[in-house]
């Protein structure tokens, strides 16, 4: 399989239009347009019955003590964990493209609704659900795509992996508020092929090119 995007090139920075947050000189960050990027895939194997999609950032700090704190930084040496930005499943085998902004066109406080999605697909919850759990203004179930918002004081540039999976079933036998880890588990034994595309993003002005 092959995966490409007209929104950004593999291995290159993701434009701010596709981010949850963008730099703001006065306040470090402000909300971005939060559009989902365009994605297109080809050469799915025979027998493909549906597609699933995961976007995750493997560079998220494993501890939040220093995150977004003045006069402190998140050290590059800190252990990192996965943060899921998009969990999408049951895309029909006839679909081979997601259009820019088709699944997300803004930041929605308390999260976008789900699990129903375009093309009669389903979306799970992303990890902003847990991140905002203690915030009275933002907490909720964050279904679908919400883009990059790495710590503005992180010493490393974050990577965002978009992976499309060709599956041998038309609908995965899962229900409820599906997380990225749960989708990974549910796909085991059903993956015929997969393809990935990576973009980078930072809110740290000292890391900007």
Give the pLDDT confidence of 14-68 residue by residue, as tens digits: 999 999 999 999 999 999 999 999 999 999 999 999 999 999 999 999 998 899 9
In this predicted structure, which of 17-21, 24-28, 125-129, 179-183 has the lowest mean pLDDT?
24-28
**Percentage of the chain modeled with pLDDT above 90:** 96
- Does the pLDDT at position 208 exceed 80? no
- Does the pLDDT at position 190 exceed 90? yes
Backbone torsion region of residue 113, taken as left when φ is above 0, otherwise alpha when ψ lies between -120 and 50, otherwise beta? beta
Q: Is 161 helix (H, G, I), strand (E, B) or coil?
A: strand
Pairing state between β 28-31 and 50-61: unpaired
Fold of 2-207: Phosphatidylethanolamine-binding Protein (3.90.280)
Q: According to the model, what pLDDT value does residue 106 have? A: 97
- Does the pLDDT at position 209 exceed 90? no
CA 13 to CA 17: how far, in whole Å?
12
The residue ranges of every structural domain in the chain are 2-207
| Mean pLDDT of the residues in the chain | 96
Q: According to the model, what pLDDT value does residue 139 have? A: 96
Cα 195 to its chain centre, rounded Å, is 15
Give the up-direction half-sphere exposure of residue 187: CA atoms within 13 A in the CB hemisphere: 26
Q: According to the model, what pLDDT value does residue 176 have? A: 86
**Of 145, 160, 177, 129, the residue nearest 60 (C-alpha):** 160
């Amino acid at each position: 399989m092959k995966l490409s995007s007209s929104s950004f090139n593999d291995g290159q920075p993701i434009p701010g239009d596709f981010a949850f947050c963008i730099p703001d000189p006065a306040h470090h960050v402000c909300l971005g347009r939060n559009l989902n990027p365009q994605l297109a895939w080809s050469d799915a194997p025979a027998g493909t019955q549906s597609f699933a999609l995961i976007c995750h950032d493997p560079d998220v700090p494993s501890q939040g003590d220093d995150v977004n704190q003045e006069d402190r930084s998140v050290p590059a040496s800190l252990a990192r964990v996965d943060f899921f930005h998009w969990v999408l499943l049951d895309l029909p085998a006839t679909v081979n493209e997601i259009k820019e902004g088709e699944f997300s066109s803004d930041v929605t406080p308390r999260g976008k609704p789900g699990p129903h999605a375009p093309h009669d697909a389903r979306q799970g919850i992303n990890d902003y659900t847990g991140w905002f759990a203690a915030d009275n203004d933002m907490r909720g179930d964050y279904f679908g795509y919400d883009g990059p918002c790495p710590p503005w004081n992180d010493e490393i540039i974050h990577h965002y992996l978009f992976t499309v999976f060709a599956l041998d079933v038309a609908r995965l036998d899962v229900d409820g508020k599906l997380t990225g880890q749960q989708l990974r588990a549910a796909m085991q034994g059903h993956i015929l092929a997969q393809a990935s595309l990576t973009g980078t993003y930072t809110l740290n002005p000292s890391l900007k090119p």
